[in-house]
Amino acid sequence: MARKKVQASRSRATARSAGASKPRARKTPSTRSGAARRTPGRLTGVRKPPEAAADASPGAALVDTLDATIKSLADRFATLRAAAFQQGGAAGQQRFDQVFDGLRASYNALLKQDLARNDQRYRDLAAATTRAGDDLTKAIKSMADVVAIIDLGARVTSLIGNIMSLVTVRQPLRLVSMSNPVVPVPKSVFEGLEAAPVRRVTRGGQGTPATESSRALQHLVVKGRRATPLRRPGGGALESIIDIDDRVRILETDLPPWRMICALRLRGPFGSGAIGTGWMIGPKTVLTAGHCVYSTQFFGGWATEIEISAGRNGDVFPFDTVKSRRFSSVNLWVEQEDPDFDIGCIHLDDPLGERVGWFSVAALGATELEDFLVNVAGYPGDRGGGTELYHHRNRVLSVTERRIFYDVDTFGGQSGAPVWIHEQDDAPPLAIGIHAYGVGANPPGMSLRANSAPRIIPEVLDQIEAWVNEDGGWPTT
């Protein structure tokens, strides 16, 4: 038995040795599969087929990120909502619901838009939103502080709103200046052509030199930008006083910029009266809300007479009172009472602005306005009956195509007040909107608890310039 094994082993070795002297044919995949072997031919270079081009638009990455954010939120919604209640009570839970209901609604609206654009402004905004969405997703998955999660949710919602204002197809505007029939004023017609406005700013006026600087300007007015609000809105009824009333009375109304803001007494054709706020935009021109000069509710049409008291301080009138019976608005307010165009103008015979000065007015893009701290000052009815000037400040919460939203306390009578910013600490006031509405007038589907102003967009700035020119224009020097 042992001999047979040795012989078998020798036979196998001999076979291996014989096989080594004859090269073994290399089998190709086709040979192994039983297919006929191909005869080698002329070799040519073969290029790898091009891969499908990656989506050049940042919209795909944005949607993927927000999908993940919404899914993470859905997975942990009940736990986060309970944490919001534990940390902030009913008000905290209410804010949680408002922010994340708004986020879902904004995202659903975004999905209906064409996100395939590729311009730099869109890319930058989409990239910022994608980063914020990633941060929110990570915070949700790690169950970070619920207040921080809510703040991130509000920021993502605001950024989506800015994208919506950019990608939504905008129909050309046709605004027409319309004036009360006391003195006919030539109509000014213009078309809205720019979805992304180029920065435009009118020149402000200083008025007569002040003997001192305002301490309220130094200590109360906010300047520059801020990534988070000065306060977080709490719960409560849908009122224009949001959470705690933080308005502060201004006593230095004879100093700039406060003296450029005017208390208005409005009179209708049947003796009806109301109060409002206006502000100087030129030597003889006051800007205010449209419903302060034309209102079917208050006056049944045009106001008949308005008293203008620049810098009024209770019973003190540092610049006297002037009257006007010449007013203007735009067709989209007079004919439709469209809240996005609640803009009015009062024409003066007296060059009041030469004494008190006037605001610079700016048409800025939505992304330029992001995170700016804003100031609003006017003459409310609940404090002083429209005779005392009150100021409050906070951060821009959201910007849409034609409105600005902010967590700033206001009350009836402050309609028409200037909404202004200071771009740097030493920069002059720059008006960007006309305050007109409280929380109850926010567009349907908007969950933000914020007051709002029609934005100064290029079409509105065109009309403002036309109104000032009707009154003699700005000084050339």
Q: What is the mean pLDDT of residues 335-357?
A: 95
Predicted local distance difference test score (pLDDT) of residue 249: 95
Contact (Cβ atoms closer than 8 angstroms) between residue 292 and residue 333: no
Q: How confident is the model at residue 98 (pLDDT cuts 50, 70, 90)?
A: confident
Q: How confident is the model at residue 348 (pLDDT cuts 50, 70, 90)?
A: very high
Helices (H), 197-352: 215-219, 331-334
List the domains of the chain with CATH numbers.
59-167 (no CATH), 174-470 (2.40.10.120)
Q: How confident is the model at residue 6 (pLDDT cuts 50, 70, 90)?
A: very low
Of 410, 417, 386, nearest to 313 by C-alpha is: 386
Predicted local distance difference test score (pLDDT) of residue 444: 63
Q: How far apart are CA 314 and CA 319, in angstroms?
A: 13
Summarised one tens digit per residue, pLDDT across range 234-251 is 433 323 455 566 789 999
Predicted local distance difference test score (pLDDT) of residue 443: 67
Summarised one tens digit per residue, pLDDT across range 270-318 is 777 899 999 999 999 999 999 999 998 888 899 999 999 999 999 999 9
Q: How confident is the model at residue 89 (pLDDT cuts 50, 70, 90)?
A: confident
Predicted local distance difference test score (pLDDT) of residue 324: 96
Neighbours of 193 (CB within 10 A): 11
Average pLDDT, the chain: 79
Contact (Cβ atoms closer than 8 angstroms) between residue 252 and residue 214: yes
Q: How far apart are CA 33 and CA 31, in angstroms?
A: 5
Q: Is it the case that residue 56 has pLDDT exceeding 90?
A: no
Predicted local distance difference test score (pLDDT) of residue 354: 96
**When comparing pLDDT for 206 and 359, which is higher?**
359
Three state DSSP letters for the chain = CHHHHHHHHHHHHHHHHHHHCCCCCCCCHHHHCCCCCCCCCCCCCCCCCCCCCCCCCCHHHHHHHHHHHHHHHHHHHHHHHHHHHHHHHHHHHHHHHHHHHHHHHHHHHHHCCCCCCCCHHHHHHHHHHHHHHHHHHHHHHCCCCHHHHHHHHHHHHHHHHHHHHHHCCCCCCEEEEEECCCCCCCCCEEECCCCCCCCEECCCECCCCCCCCCHHHHHCCCCCECCCCCCCCCCCCCCCCCCCCCCEECCCCCCCCHHHEEEEEEECCCCCEEEEEEEEEECCEEEECHHHCEECCCCCEECCEEEEEECCECCECCCCCEEECEEEEEHHHHCCCCHHHCCEEEECCCCCHHHHCECEEEECCHHHHCCEEEEEEECCCCCHHHCCCEEEEEEEEEECCCEEEECCCCCCCCCCCEEEECCCCCCCCEEEEECCECHHHCCCCCCCCCEEEEECCHHHHHHHHHHHHHCCCCCCC
Predicted local distance difference test score (pLDDT) of residue 445: 61
Q: Is it the case that residue 261 has pLDDT exceeding 80?
A: yes
**When comparing pLDDT for 370 and 387, which is higher?**
387
Neighbours of 373 (CB within 10 A): 19
Predicted local distance difference test score (pLDDT) of residue 347: 97
Predicted local distance difference test score (pLDDT) of residue 21: 43
Q: What is the mean pLDDT of residues 346-361?
A: 97
**When comparing pLDDT for 256 and 175, which is higher?**
256
Q: Is it the case that residue 11 has pLDDT exceeding 50?
A: no
pTM attached to this predicted model: 0.62
Enumerate the active-site residues: 291, 415
Which of 35-39, 287-291, 439-443: highest mean pLDDT? Answer: 287-291
Q: What is the mean pLDDT of residues 148-170?
A: 80
Q: Is it the case that residue 415 has pLDDT exceeding 70?
A: yes
Q: What is the mean pLDDT of residues 63-72?
A: 88
Predicted local distance difference test score (pLDDT) of residue 260: 98
Predicted local distance difference test score (pLDDT) of residue 297: 83
**When comparing pLDDT for 411 and 40, which is higher?**
411
Q: How far apart are CA 149 and CA 206, in angstroms?
A: 44
**When comparing pLDDT for 458 and 228, which is higher?**
458
Pairing of strands 248-249, 403-406: unpaired
Predicted local distance difference test score (pLDDT) of residue 401: 87
Report the share of the chain in percent with pLDDT over 90.
34
Predicted local distance difference test score (pLDDT) of residue 147: 87
Q: What is the DSSP letter of 182?
A: T
Which residues lie closer than 8 Å to 438 by C-beta, 6 or more apart?
238, 239, 240, 410, 451
Q: What is the mean pLDDT of residues 399-425?
A: 90
Q: What is the mean pLDDT of residues 345-357?
A: 97
Predicted local distance difference test score (pLDDT) of residue 12: 41
Summarised one tens digit per residue, pLDDT across range 172-218 is 677 878 888 754 433 332 233 333 445 789 989 989 988 888 888 88
Q: Is it the case that residue 396 has pLDDT exceeding 70?
A: yes
